[in-house]
Each structure stands twice: as structure tokens, then as C-alpha cells.
């Protein structure tokens, strides 16, 4: 009986999903057409580059002091030795804390990314919800989200509709630059009524964790 019930449940679920009207949106493409989003992205990358340069300076200074200490410690005694050792340890701790505070999972880079890009992500999410309601879509897939689409009939691609809606809702001077949408890439992920995080889009900061501390 349990097996029969499970089979019935699977068939029912599959039928319900199949009955849903499905749409596809390319959020990466939409984001790329928002001029203000590009400006926010550039500000983020500029700040991250500066923070990386600062960290590299700290690392270089640490390496210089550490090498000098290794060469001279045989000549150091008592408090002088302890002070030099403490200086090296403090610099090492400072580098580790800086990496965590700026490039960690809850660091300044992610916070700044969220502050700069979230308004545009929210605009896209609201536009997708409106388009979904208007077209009675039960499921909306994001073909930017590691989706592999072998074939996509254009009538199921609502990227252009989302762009058009954003063009009407954005303040004057921030209109989207609209271009024809190319056919999609297929998917192995589906999104239903939950908001997704677009932070993966072209926001990867070069070498966020690329500076290694020598132990």
C-alpha cells in the first residue's frame, strides 16, 4: 500500500508540475541592460581593487619584517627579542583580521555588494512577479542560474517582457537599453514563488581570498 501511495503521489506531483505554465527569464541579461547597475558594479570593483592593494601592502610589510627578524633574532635577547616577536605576531593577526573583515563571508565586500546591487535586484524581482501574474505563469526559471537549455521556444522566454516593464518603471534617464533576446540555455533548476539572489552575476571580486598568509 505504501508503494502504491508513493507512486500515486509522484504521478500527481508530476501532473501538477506539467500542468503549470512555465516561463524563462535571463536575469544576467536583464542586469546587463541596467545602466545604473553597471555603475554600481564598477564602484564595487573599484573599492575591492583598492582593498586588495591595501592588503598586499600589509602582506609585503609583514614579509619584510618577518625576514629581518629571522635574520637578526640570534642577536636579540630578553625584552628586545620578545618585542620583535610580538611585532611579527601582531602584524600577522592584523592581516588575518583584515582578510576576514573585508573578504570573509560576512565581510565588507559582500555588504557593499548587497547595498549597491540589491535595489536593482529588487526591481527585477518585482518585474518578474508582475509578468508572471499577467501571463499566468506557475513556474519561472532563470536561465542565468547554471541552467542548460537545449531548446527554448521564444514564446516561453519572458526576458523581453521583463525588460519592457523595467523600462516603463525606471525613472527617466535610467531606462534599460533594450536589445533582442537570444535563445536560451537549458535548465536543471526551477524557481517557483521564492525570490532568488542575483549576487552571483558578474560580481565576483578578483582574488577575494587570493592573498594567503604564510605561517
pTM: 0.57
Note the pLDDT of residue 200: 43
Q: How close are the terminal C-alpha atoms of the chain, in Å?
A: 61
| C-alpha–C-alpha distance, residues 99 and 49, integer Å | 13
pLDDT at 87: 95
pLDDT score at 65: 95
By the 8 A CB rule, do 176 and 166 touch?
yes
Question: What is the model's pLDDT at position 183?
Answer: 40
Cα separation of 168 and 63, whole Å? Answer: 55
The answer to whether 163 and 178 have CB atoms below 8 angstroms apart is: yes
- The reported pLDDT for the residue numbered 171 is 53
* Distances, alpha carbon 183 to alpha carbons 22, 25, 138, 180, in Å: 16, 11, 21, 10
Kindly list the averaged pLDDT for each block of 10 residues, start to end, along the chain of length 215. 47 51 87 86 93 96 95 89 94 96 92 86 90 89 73 82 80 50 40 46 41 45
Amino acid at each position: 500500500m505504501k508503494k502504491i501511495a508513493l507512486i500515486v503521489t509522484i504521478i500527481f506531483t508530476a501532473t501538477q508540475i506539467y500542468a503549470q505554465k512555465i516561463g524563462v527569464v535571463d536575469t544576467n541579461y536583464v542586469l546587463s541592460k541596467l545602466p545604473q547597475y553597471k555603475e554600481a558594479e564598477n564602484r564595487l570593483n573599484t573599492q575591492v581593487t583598492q582593498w586588495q592593494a591595501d592588503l598586499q601592502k600589509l602582506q609585503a610589510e609583514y614579509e619584510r619584517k618577518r625576514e629581518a627578524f629571522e635574520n637578526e633574532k640570534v642577536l636579540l635577547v630578553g625584552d628586545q627579542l620578545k618585542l620583535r616577536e610580538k611585532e611579527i605576531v601582531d602584524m600577522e593577526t592584523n592581516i588575518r583580521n583584515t582578510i576576514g573583515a573585508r573578504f570573509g563571508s560576512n565581510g565588507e565586500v559582500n555588504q557593499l555588494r548587497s547595498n549597491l546591487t540589491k535595489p536593482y535586484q529588487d526591481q527585477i524581482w518585482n518585474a518578474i512577479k508582475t509578468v508572471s501574474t499577467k501571463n499566468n505563469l506557475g513556474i519561472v526559471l532563470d536561465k542565468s542560474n547554471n541552467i542548460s537549455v537545449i531548446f527554448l521556444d521564444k514564446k516561453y522566454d519572458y526576458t523581453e517582457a521583463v525588460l519592457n516593464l523595467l523600462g516603463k518603471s525606471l525613472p527617466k534617464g535610467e531606462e534599460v537599453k533594450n536589445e533582442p533576446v537570444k535563445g536560451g540555455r537549458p535548465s536543471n533548476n526551477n524557481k517557483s514563488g521564492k525570490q532568488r539572489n542575483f549576487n552571483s552575476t558578474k560580481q565576483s571580486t578578483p582574488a577575494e581570498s587570493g592573498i594567503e598568509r604564510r605561517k
